[in-house]
Amino acid sequence: MNLLFLSHRLPFPPNKGDKIRSHALFTHLAARHTVHLGCFIDEVEDFSYANAVSAMAASCKFIPLTKTRKLLRSALAFLNNSSITAEVYQDAEMQQWVDTILQKEKIDCAVVFSSSMAPYLLAGKYLAPRHVVFDMVDLDSDKWLQYSKTDGLATSWIYRREATKLLKVERAAAEKFALTYLVSPYEVQCLSRLAPESAERIKPLSNGVNLNYFSSGAFASPFPQDVTPIVMTGRMDYWPNVEGALWFANVVLPLVKRKVPNARFYVVGGQPVSALRKISSVDIEVTGEVSDVRPYIAAARVVVAPLRIARGVQNKVLEALAMRVPVVATEEASRGLAVIGGRDLWVANSAEDFASAVVDAERSIERDVIAANGRAYVEKNHNWNELLATLDTVLKDLNVSSGRQQQTVMQCL
């Protein structure tokens, strides 16, 4: 098939949440079809991967997205009474490229990754929206609503406004496009409740894990021998990760240390904000970017996901489960998965319960059994090839439908 793939970020490398998913989708489709890729590049280092991505696609359109441009487009959203998210990613040059590709390349179907790219195809000028598969991933509008409950009055108003404006975009896309994917049944339920007119065409498509890469093995420990390492991974300029790490460090860790005096908290991930760098101490290490996260996971006594603001599936949880390491997560960080607390991992929310679960995960005689169950769960439910076979079937059906419509039109002529 001849496909158009639109993404708000370069789908390479798979080094953080949304890019892990977009990379999996793009590489899967590029190996099976002719793919034309349009995306933005918002990090300078990602330009070094542009040639590798271009080699996999029939054509590409890369547009830089600087911080200055983001700020200017965000301000424009207020003048245009539109969503900040949608406004930031609207670009006349990208729209022209999309229109040209649709006209010249006889595109069979399109895959749109993230709600910020949906407006490029909503008008249906050169491709009927019913030939578009929309991967919304998470219900981002609700994430903004969550943000509004945790910040000051001025920013809370901005976040609530964005939640309302973005939901309109999400609902419009779900209503017009052939199928909308979300990363978990929970996300599907949330959007279906808010967009009941589209509920029948909103489906779950979970994230997968590279099971060969994330597996238990012989990794050299990066930790001193006299500490009990408790590890959190993730991008550390992402507010839900920052908030969760600070909560664990300031509130939960002191409770853990009453039972595990040599416990040390390792915050492992790139771009740590200043609030995180400031908490470094004898009991807390903020590593910054590491070349390979696996040794930190493999040598951890416990991996924690203390997120209190979360949407979708947390890749950090899947990766730790895949490596057979005991995991303690909040309900928010685990509800996107079909895991069972006490069987596949530990689930706790209050500071006292979370600390108790960490101690249990570190000392319990069942820790190895539960860790093995976590690996088995991932193997059964999060294999990328099996998950994306669903997408293959959907695209095939859309292409057949498109062919039938064209044949009907020719017969009428």
Query: 286-324: per-residue pLDDT in tens?
Result: 999 999 999 999 999 999 999 999 888 999 999 999 999
Q: How many CB atoms lie within 10 A of CB 282?
A: 7
Q: Are 303 and 231 in contact (CB under 8 A)?
A: yes
Contacts of 92 (CB under 8 A, 6+ apart): none
CA pair distance 298, 325, nearest whole angstrom: 7
CATH architecture of 228-381: 3-Layer(aba) Sandwich (3.40)
Q: Which residue has the tokens 């496009």?
A: 177
Residue ranges of the domains in the chain? Answer: 2-208+383-412, 228-381
Q: Are 242 and 309 in contact (CB under 8 A)?
A: no
pTM summary value: 0.90
Best CATH choice for the domain 2-208+383-412 from the list 3.40.50.2000, 3.30.1340.10, 3.10.129.10, 2.60.40.10: 3.40.50.2000
Q: Is-same-fold flag (2-208+383-412; 228-381)?
A: yes
Query: 326-337: per-residue pLDDT in tens?
Result: 999 999 999 999
Q: Side chain identity at 252, as an amino acid letter?
A: V
Q: Are 107 and 127 in contact (CB under 8 A)?
A: yes
* Tokens representing residue 257 in the block: 């240390």
CA pair distance 210, 208, nearest whole angstrom: 7
* Tokens representing residue 297 in the block: 């996971």
Per-10-residue mean pLDDT for the chain, 413 residues long? Answer: 97 90 97 98 94 97 95 94 95 97 95 97 94 96 89 83 96 97 95 97 96 91 97 94 97 98 97 96 96 96 95 93 98 95 98 98 96 97 94 90 44 33
Confidence at residue 402, expressed as pLDDT on a 0 to 100 scale = 57
Q: In three state form, how does the secondary structure of the chain look? A: CEEEEEECCCCCCCCCHHHHHHHHHHHHHHCCCEEEEEEEECCHHHHHHHHHHHHHCCEEEEEECCHHHHHHHHHHHHHCCCCHHHHHCCCHHHHHHHHHHHHHCCCCEEEEECHHHCHHHHCCCCCCHHHEEEEEECCHHHHHHHHHCCCCHHHHHHHHHHHHHHHHHHHHHHHHCCEEEECCHHHHHHHHHHCHHHHHHEEECCCCECCCCCCCCCCCCCCCCCCEEEEEECCCCCHHHHHHHHHHHHHHHHHHHHHCCCEEEEEECCCCCHHHHCCCCCCEEEEECCCCCHHHHHCCCEEEECCCCCCCCCHHHHHHHHCCCCEEECHHHHCCCCCCECCCEEECCCHHHHHHHHHHHHHCCCHHHHHHHHHHHHHHHCEHHHHHHHHHHHHHHHHHHHHHHHHHHHHHC
Q: Are 314 and 336 in contact (CB under 8 A)?
A: yes
CA pair distance 31, 392, nearest whole angstrom: 12
Q: Side chain identity at 342, as an amino acid letter?
A: G
